[in-house]
Structure 1
Amino acid sequence: MEIDFFDETNVVQTKEKELVIKLLTFASQHLQLQEHAEMSVTIVTNERIQEINSEYRNKNVATDVISFALNDDSEDDFPINLESMGEDFPFNLGDIIISQEKTAEQAILYGHSFERELGFLALHGFLHLNGYDHMNPEDEKEMFDLQKEILDAYGLKRE
């Protein structure tokens, strides 16, 4: 799994970046994704995520994480037959955008470390990229159970 990591805030430490990359690589193996999968994670300010949330989701508020799945079956997209591209062609899952400020705020609110909250948000976004959602109670239970299973198996439990 190839993960491009960008920190637009310049405050994320190397160990936090490595945590995200290792956790998402672990999660990709847990979900048995193909080896040539790739994606990006970008850390931004509250101001920037609010702009993105407003532009793409029509919600003019800062949020903690936003995922943009490349293959989400949106009616506005040009359909791509990823199976026809061959085994060596990279499978791009999409992009995850995380607010550094919301991560810090929520870590304090929930009483755990910045690293645990960052890992949680990155995994949450990753599951969205892989088709999981929480729009109804059944889907929410499936996604949140899987989220907890992966975080526990990785060793990033709630403190």
Structure 2
Amino acid sequence: MPPKFLLLLAVFPLYQAWDLYQLVSSGPSFHFYAETAATIAFLVILGIVIGERRRALNEFETLKHSAAAAARAAAERDAAAQRSTRDFLQSMQEQFERWGLTPAERDVALLLVKGLSLEEIAGVRETGAKTVRQHAANLYAKAKVNGRHQLAAFFFEDLLAPRPGGGP
């Protein structure tokens, strides 16, 4: 709590105690009992406010720790996803080498697996659609697949197949 607020909280009970002392010295009266009740009510409310503030601070700290943990977990997932993508692309490149694909055929194969159409690939590679079709036909023959769907399935089948032991 800010120091000014604490000072105000300390002044009121002191004033009330002084006021009650003055009232007791003149003898108990309705005013004395009213002031006593007001002081007790103030102290109860003060206790509730302090308790709620502590609870809110604890909750805030818990949320802060949860947010930090979530950020760490997200960073770990991102790093794992990047490693997985890098490993997947590496295994694709190794397979392209085993098939004996040319650099152009490798580019076309990668873009086909990503889902681009032959026309889109021609635009990306800044070549003609006929050239891309020829590269695609060559790579299908070298890979012994019948088209883009079988090419994609060749790479994704291992990703989607359950691993030994039932784990993801």
Q: Higher strand fraction: Structure 1 or Structure 2?
A: 1
Q: Higher helix fraction: Structure 1 or Structure 2?
A: 2
Q: Name the TM-score class by shorter chain.
A: under 0.3
| TM-score normalised according to structure 2 size | 0.24
Say which structure, 1 or 2, has more relative contact order (CA 8 Å, 6+ apart).
Answer: 1
| TM-score normalised according to structure 1 size | 0.25
Q: Which of these two proteins has the greater Rg computed from alpha carbons?
A: 2
